[in-house]
Amino acid sequence: MNFNHYETIYILQPNITEAENLALVNQYKALIKKYGGQNILIQHKGRRHLNYNIQSHYDGIYVQINYIAGSNLVKILEKTMHLTGEVIRYMTIKNGRTDHIKV
């Protein structure tokens, strides 16, 4: 199975505490590791004003996760984010293919 580089960005509700934010980050990181993800890099982008209103919120907390994984992990991660009430928006893009990493 070939792995690809992925970048997932998600936006949290602005009323989330730092502890809740950290708990979600650890949950997603554990999920990525559980399904074979590698080279996990998490960047907290902070609170930003949204260009348009999302679910009655004008601000959101941005978090970016970069990792190497198979495509099945992306589906699992996005489904988990969809079911989490604190995440108001998420998006995953594929950055490129790494042929040298094979399982």
Report pLDDT digits (tens) over 25-71.
Answer: 999 999 999 999 999 999 999 999 999 999 999 999 999 999 999 88
Q: The tokens 């982008």 sit on which residue? A: 45
pTM of the full structure: 0.86
pLDDT band at 99 (very low <50, low <70, confident <90, very high): low
Helix (H) or strand (E) holding 60: strand 57-69
Among the listed residues 17, 33, 24, the one whose alpha carbon sits nearest the alpha carbon of residue 87: 24
- Region for 52 from its dihedrals, namely left if φ exceeds 0, alpha if ψ lies in -120 to 50, beta otherwise: beta
Mean pLDDT (the chain) is 91
* pLDDT for the residue 43: 96
Alpha helices in 3-70 (DSSP H): 18-34
pLDDT band at 102 (very low <50, low <70, confident <90, very high): low
| Residue 87: Cβ-neighbour burial (10 angstroms; 0-12, 13-18, 19+) | buried
Asked whether the predicted pLDDT for residue 12 surpasses 80, the reply is: yes
pLDDT band at 10 (very low <50, low <70, confident <90, very high): very high
Percent of the chain with pLDDT over 70: 91
Helix (H) or strand (E) holding 43: strand 38-54
The dihedral through the CA atoms of 31, 3, 11, 22 has a sign that is: positive
